Amino acid sequence: MAADINEHDPSATIDHWDAERLFTAHAGFVASFLHRLGSHKNDIDDLVQDVFLTAHRKGGFTAGTAKPRTWLAAIAVHLLQNRRRGLKRRREDEQFEVLENSASTSQNPEESLELVESLRRVQRALDTLDVDHRAAFLLFELESESCLTIAEYFDVPVGTIYSRLHKARKMFLKAYQESDHQAAVGLSALASVWGLV
């Protein structure tokens, strides 16, 4: 059921989502979003629970201009900012865990390695952004959410979102280009050790 829900935009057909249904459909996204925001691995389980508990207290999600994911992301950012402890404790090696039980459909080890490298490059670039810029960037670039909706859910003027996105994009591109060269080594070398490529 969760897979079906994830594959299609749930807000297109269902007007109201209670917290339990939201959890089944979007907990994976929220965990991933928190990971990308820089939340520490050990905090993610608790934060995911808190996000949906907050969603429950708000009475669930009612379809409007935004997707449920954007609404949940806004809650996640709010909770993460309150905690203020994830970013400093992130460990580099956690990034290698991205494939564990991931939603990737990749079955081939070689493809998996490429996927890990891609995700690592993106994450390294994301790590140069603070939470506000990162959240706006993720929702705009990866979730294809509109600036107006992001502004609405983050309770800031749309100009602020424009500004954050411009700055985030600049910083992201700079960091990405710097780490691009490093991507050729690392896991590829490991893969050759294992004889996978």
Give the binding-site size for other proteins (rule: CB under 8 A).
76
Query: Considering the rule CB under 8 A, would residue 90 count as an interface residue with other proteins?
Result: no
Confirm or reject binding of residue 62 to other proteins (CB under 8 A).
no
Residue 59 binding other proteins, by CB under 8 A: yes
Stretch that binds other proteins, among 7-15, 62-70, 127-135, 161-169 (CB under 8 A): 161-169
13 versus 107: smaller Cβ distance to other proteins: 107
Question: Minimum distance from CB of 29 to other proteins (Å)?
Answer: 6
Which one, 13 or 195, has the nearer CB to other proteins? 195
Among 23, 71, 153, 154, binds other proteins (CB under 8 A): 23
DSSP labels, the chain = -HHHHHHS-GGGT-SEE-HHHHHHHHHHHHHHHHHHHT--HHHHHHHHHHHHHHHHHTT-EE-SSS-HHHHHHHHHHHHHHHH--TGGG--GGGGGGGGTT-S----SHHHHHHHHHHHHHHHHHHTTS-HHHHHHHIIIIIS---HHHHHHHHTS-HHHHHHHHHHHHHHHHHHHHHHHGGGGSTHHHHHHHHT--
